[in-house]
Amino acid sequence: MSVIAIGGDKLSRGLTLEGLSVSYFLRASKMYDTLMQMGRWFGYRPGYVDLCRLFTSSELNEWFRHITMASEDLREEFDAMWNAKATPEKYALKVRTHPGQLQITAITKMRNVDRIQVSWSGRLVETYQLPTDKGVINKNLVATQDFLSKLGIPLIKDSNNYLWLKVSPIDVLKFFSEFTVPPQLTKVDLTLISNFIRKLNQDGELGAWSVALMNKANASKHFTVSNKVSAGCFIRNTAGDTETYIIKKNHIVGKQTDEFIDLDNADLSDAWLASKQDKDWKKNYPKPKLVRELSRDVNNPLLIIYPLDPLGANPKDENSITIFQENDDVIIGFAIVFPKSNTQHTVEFAINTSLANEYYQSEIDFDDNNDNLEDNE
């Protein structure tokens, strides 16, 4: 028997239509949760999913596309919360908001929610969590070797580090597209970051990248790009997790001055003067945050690549299983230093109000304190 079902509220909410294959849908709601509940076509369609069709308006199509992305973001947040062994009470779950008319849910259900604008302008972005899957590690290693080998002959900075100037954002974006970070590392969404870079490229920013390969002196393991480029690997000890390689203190950058590798003293003068106005700043170099905001040109972001000794990813607990051996592949991590933008490009999220102030605390701590030096640096 074939049936054509026509209806309003009852048909759109709480009713399952077995075998539904074709839907004409024009009934709208401006709330994420209600709109999702109205989707009668959702669910398992074993054996005939290829026959299913949805006819709707272009506006509703855009709304459902946005809700799908927001739902995927939230699923990743749940996974990250689980891996962090946290609860919603302690974990800042966030939901992507809509730039137009859509609301996440009714206002009365969002009493403990605030909206935050996420931008990478003037930010330090670090891959402080890396994969332990050896296949993914090798893939990232090869992607990094291919990327650097095409940049030509580097400059030598600070006696042993390598630096390439005026690198095209196209090459950097290609590298990001080939590099894999753990899905738990929600702060480093390379797809969103790449979209942010493309937007700023359209406005004449982030067009000439500096790329640095950091080189640890007297290291026991090396990362080789070519006959002329070989870098010693750093030790970044794990926090103890075995599913992913979480670097202690959530920072891959060892010294804050690594951010200045492509800048001269003259470039740092404005940030240095501003840093001296802060009576609590006692270091003999300017505050990195001020360098990003005052000294780094909007067209000149910096990508810092750190080759890491895989032995650092082994848990130090005597009862833990040893994952990596000396002959295993080098683990690649990186940090991105974004200058302060003249644009207002952002991604908006809704976040638990009580945890909003904690959301960027680790980055704030690192801006104020050089807290990630390993004992053997």
Rounded distance, CA 37 to CA 33, Å? 6
Q: What is the DSSP letter of 343?
A: S
Please tell me the distance from the alpha carbon of residue 132 to that of residue 242, in angstroms, as a whole number. Answer: 7
Query: CB neighbours of 195 closer than 8 A, spacing ≥ 6?
Result: none
Instruction: Name the DSSP class of 214.
Output: -
Note the residue count of the chain.
Answer: 377
Residue 90 CA to chain centroid, in angstroms? 21
pLDDT tens, position by position, for the chain (377 residues)? Answer: 788 888 776 676 656 777 888 888 887 776 767 777 777 666 667 888 888 888 888 777 767 777 776 777 677 667 766 765 666 665 555 555 554 555 555 544 555 555 556 678 888 999 988 999 999 999 999 999 999 999 999 999 987 999 999 999 999 999 999 999 988 777 788 988 998 899 899 999 999 999 999 999 999 999 999 878 999 999 999 876 667 888 877 789 989 999 999 999 899 999 999 998 888 888 999 999 899 999 999 999 999 999 999 999 998 776 777 889 999 999 999 999 999 999 877 666 555 555 444 444 444 454 555 444 444 45
Q: Looking at residue 148, what is its pLDDT?
A: 97
What are the CA-CA distances from residue 338 to residues 36, 44, 161, 290 (Å)?
37, 44, 20, 12
What pLDDT does residue 23 have? 83
Q: What predicted TM-score, i.e. pTM, was given to this entire model?
A: 0.67
The token pair that represents 50 in the structure block: 């290829």
Q: Where are the beta strands (DSSP E) in 254-294?
A: none
What value, to the nearest 5°, has the Cα angle with vertex 341 and ends 192 and 373?
75
Helices assigned H by DSSP within the chain: 9-12, 32-37, 58-83, 134-149, 169-178, 190-202, 269-276, 288-290, 353-356, 361-368
Tokens found for residue 299: 């067209």
pLDDT in tens, 240-272: 666 788 887 778 998 999 999 999 989 999 999
* Distance (Å, whole) CA 340 – CA 28: 40
CA distances from 112 to 34, 109, 331, 349 (A): 20, 8, 40, 14
